[in-house]
Chains A and B, each alone.
Chain A
């Protein structure tokens, strides 16, 4: 793998950037691997990378039914934050931010992690109380989060309407300076390139149709469009499609898949310095480095795999954005799209072992798993390599739905991204 550097950029400039080598080979599957990861999203690729880098497991294959990063990784609004309420979540998400911090250097790939700050607006007395509770809980966990006045919010983000006449006036906000955004595609590409450089095979356009189990119940490998591939360990990291794959191994999950949409405007000059989220009017927004406003909508009410989503949600979201930022009322939108997100009853992920020996699952990140990509990959790799969970993902078991030890972020955040 050729390293990226200022020097290599200059050298390639001399030849008009026409002879950059491929960043990773498009592999064909071998007959057998030590570990197969199903799903080449950010999570699956990160898991493969950390398996190779930290556990010396390099005979690994990552399989995807489409192109790498074409799932929710390439469809999300890229918000990275860690101010979750419960201890278990705060620790795991904050671990991810620690990894984000040095990720571009670690991968030798610019993931454009930008700690521009995330502001969560409080519009009601209930919002104020619940955010302040979050802030106190975060402080006890050593997680950055600060209460700011509406005037301070306006200073940080000038387009914000803080007029008391607004339909839902801003009363203040929670501000996480450490939070921000990252370039979603670059995260997938950076992990893919770094994993491939350590010997991991990445096979695209190869759907896994079933997981095969032996007479003793343990995993034997996966059936795919390119034939059977043998492996004693299989990690499923397929976001919205996890239920379908796991069902083939006889594991039923507490998951429902919903379309979640986002949209972008035409690109404009820099106007929006941070990320602003509002759970109450239900919209969130940031500006990409290209200049587009990136706007996140909600999930449809019904389960679906259509990867489209309904227009009423877009209308609702855009109305909320115009209310909060009147300056954007005449902005034109360029395009909208949907991804299929896998939602658990307590809105927390399932990351760990399953009742099937050799089968691991990483799912249930729902509307908010981009931010945790390095953390999920890191702890999943640990779980697979050692056949036991990392302390950070140990609470995120499948068993919690039997024992009742839920991690109930659902009650804590109306919008769970």
Chain B
């Protein structure tokens, strides 16, 4: 079972408290009426489905109830970080460095 850090509760808790909520940083169209069919397809259906580092949303359903974002390696299922909704995408390079250091320790 995954252990997930909720950035709002500042606690690391079992996966059962959380609901996965899909890829993160997919922005809603600012002006939907101007969106082409292809843009709607990309927004609604196309996903990165990364093998490796993946930006994703989680919701602490059985806790504070809030959505937050995470970076997880989809091969090892290890979380590199979690951060509050609305915060910018973290710098992957720095994260990887930090994770590499952890792994070597």
Binding site for B on A (CB under 8 A): 241, 243-244, 252-257, 301-306, 308, 310-312, 345, 401-404
Contacts and interface: CB of A to CB of B under 8 A. Distances in A.
Contact of B20 (A243, A302, A305): A302
B46 A252 contact: yes
Nearest to B77: A306
Interface in B8-41: 15-16, 19-20, 37-38, 40-41
A303 B1 contact: no
A254 B46 CA distance: 4
Contacts of A312: 1, 15-16
A16 to B, nearest CB: 45
Given A252-B42, A255-B47, A303-B49, 12 more contacts: A243-B47, A252-B48, A254-B41, A254-B45, A256-B49, A301-B19, A303-B54, A305-B51, A311-B1, A312-B15, A345-B44, A402-B37
Interface residues of B, number: 25
Interface of B: 1-2, 15-16, 19-20, 37-38, 40-42, 44-49, 51, 54, 56, 72, 74-77
Contacts of A253: 46, 49
Nearest to B4: A302
A256 B47 contact: yes
26 contacts: A243-B49, A243-B51, A252-B46, A252-B48, A255-B47, A256-B47, A256-B49, A257-B49, A257-B51, A257-B74, A301-B19, A302-B56, A302-B72, A303-B54, A303-B56, A303-B74, A304-B77, A305-B51, A306-B77, A310-B2, A401-B44, A401-B45, A401-B46, A402-B40, A402-B41, A403-B37
Contact of A255 (B20, B41, B49): B49
